[in-house]
Amino acid sequence: MKKILVTGGMGFIGSNFIRYILSLNEDFKIINVDKLTYAGNPENLKEIDRKFPNEYRFYKNDICDFATIDKIINKEEVDYIVNFAAESHVDRSIDNPSICCETNFFGTQSLLNAARKHKIEKFVQISTDEVYGSLDFNDSPFTESTHLSPNSPYSASKASADLLVNSYYKTFNLPVNITRCSNNYGPYQFPEKLIPLMIYNATNDKELPIYGKGINIRDWIYVDDHCKAILKVLLDGKIGQIYNIGGDSEISNIDLVKKILKILDKPESLITFVTDRPGHDLRYAIDHNKITKELGWKPEIKFEKALELTVQWYLYNEEWLKNVTTKEYLTYYEKQYKNR
Ligand code: NAD
Ligand code: TYD
């Protein structure tokens, strides 16, 4: 049995990854370590304990707490670590850069130390294309050798963590991989990120705040495709390598939001242009040729279809959305938009 310690498994991508791995019914055991911040939600994996009593364990714990991580790895005889845990939102990292550095950098260091101590078979760092910085409209997409040039506290903390991971490979021969993926969407994403926020606001006939003119471009990937790529990297990725993961789906924010409104049959008059995000990256685009050639992965689900599925998921899971949009959430977002 392969025992995988997944950090941040109660968040958006981590919970989708755990669900995917366990659904394969192969010889995997998942040990999920999550601090349960505002973004970590046990409802994301509600039925998993019951369905997989022998294949799944949850520990509420901070990845920065080395002593406890050490004990968990020892007790569970962990073979692999996949590090999803992070403060993942750019806007929050602008409001409070410290928390982001704490988890994204020092948390990664604590895990690397534990991985080294226990001679873990593979450490996979889940990173982001945002470490490369911003592209102009006509620039070629990011490759794995594009210079790191992060612009937000979030992306700077992720880039720093990537450098640290690489240093543990070079200095201590720790078997590592780094994955750098574009913007994910799909079920269980906290409605602070563009797609679920716009679905939530539109269904409640609230204004849809678009930063600046809405011309910024992101490459979007359905979360299932990302999870499949991560498993490929975990099992077959060449030690010490970085793999870019992308969805081949570039679109501007304004065009994306209009598509969501069309699916929901809501008027474009809900769109409100607000003050731009400071240091807002213009465009992200990914060249994923390396993972395609080496590991035979490519995105499978078409953007239009997956967006429709995503909208339907949030409509169908009204209760989940109601439970995460608590009073604290509403106060935070009211303040955010009043300041713009
Ligand atoms: P998320 O915010 O939905 O989830 C983060 C999870 O980490 C939460 O469950 C939270 O409780 C947990 N966590 C935070 N701090 C912790 C700590 N100190 N100790 C233990 N757990 C902690 O994030 P996500 O969107 O699922 O992103 C997961 C990873 O993927 C992140 O590393 C992010 O940088 C990366 N990534 C995200 C995207 C995207 O579009 N969402 C794209 C590329 C890469
Ligand atoms: P986001 O989902 O925060 O992801 P990231 O900043 O990591 O790419 O934002 C995606 C894009 O949408 C980004 O260009 C910022 C923009 N955006 C808005 O225009 N309005 C919003 O309310 C949010 C949350 C994002």
Q: Where are the domains of the chain?
A: 2-184+222-247+278-300
Catalytic: which of 87, 130, 219, 250? Answer: 130
154 carries an active-site annotation: yes
**Exposed e or buried b per residue across 46-55, where buried means at least 16 C-beta atoms within 10 angstroms of its C-beta:** eebeeebeeb
pLDDT of 210: 98
pLDDT of 167: 98
Kindly report, residue by residue over 95-149, the tens digit of the pLDDT: 999 989 999 999 999 999 999 999 999 999 999 999 999 999 999 999 999 999 9
Structure tokens that stand for 241 in this block? 């390598």
Quote the CA–CA distance of 91 and 194 in Å, as a whole number.
Answer: 11
Quote the CA–CA distance of 296 and 276 in Å, as a whole number.
Answer: 39
Catalytic: which of 129, 192, 225, 250? Answer: 129
Q: Which ligand is nearest to the CA of 197?
A: 2
pLDDT of 247: 98
CA nearest to 63, candidates 122, 127, 9: 9
Do residues 56 and 29 touch, judged by C-beta distance below 8 A? yes
Quote the CA–CA distance of 5 and 29 in Å, as a whole number.
Answer: 9
Quote the CA–CA distance of 10 and 280 in Å, as a whole number.
Answer: 28
Choice from 253, 255, 257 to test ligand 2 binding pocket (greatest atom count within 8 A of CB): 253
pLDDT of 196: 97
130 carries an active-site annotation: yes
| 210 HSE (CA, 13 A, CB side) | 20
Atom of ligand 2 nearest to the CA of 211: 19
Q: Kindly state the DSSP code that residue 277 receives in the 8-state scheme.
A: P
Q: Which ligand is nearest to the CA of 277?
A: 2
pLDDT (tens digit, 0 to 9) for every residue of the chain, 340 residues total?
999 999 999 999 999 999 999 999 899 999 999 999 999 999 999 999 999 999 999 999 999 999 999 999 999 999 999 999 999 999 999 999 998 999 999 999 999 999 999 999 999 999 999 999 999 999 999 999 999 999 999 999 999 999 999 999 999 999 999 999 999 999 999 999 999 999 999 999 999 999 999 999 999 999 999 999 999 999 999 999 999 999 999 999 999 999 999 999 999 999 999 999 999 999 999 999 999 999 999 999 999 999 999 999 999 999 999 999 887 777 777 777 777 7
Number of residues that this document lists for the chain = 340
pLDDT of 161: 98
Do residues 291 and 161 touch, judged by C-beta distance below 8 A? no
In the block, tokens 């731009």 appear at 276
268 carries an active-site annotation: no
pLDDT of 213: 98
Structure tokens that stand for 109 in this block? 């260091």
pLDDT of 141: 98
**Pocket (CB within 6 angstroms of ligand 2):** 90, 183, 193-194, 197, 209-211, 216, 218, 253, 277
Do residues 7 and 33 touch, judged by C-beta distance below 8 A? yes
Measured between its terminal Cα atoms, the distance across the chain in Å is 51
Strands 56-60 and 28-34: parallel
Structure tokens that stand for 153 in this block? 């506290």
In the block, tokens 């590592």 appear at 176
Do residues 306 and 222 touch, judged by C-beta distance below 8 A? yes
Quote the CA–CA distance of 323 and 265 in Å, as a whole number.
Answer: 24
CATH topology of domain 2-184+222-247+278-300: Rossmann fold (3.40.50)
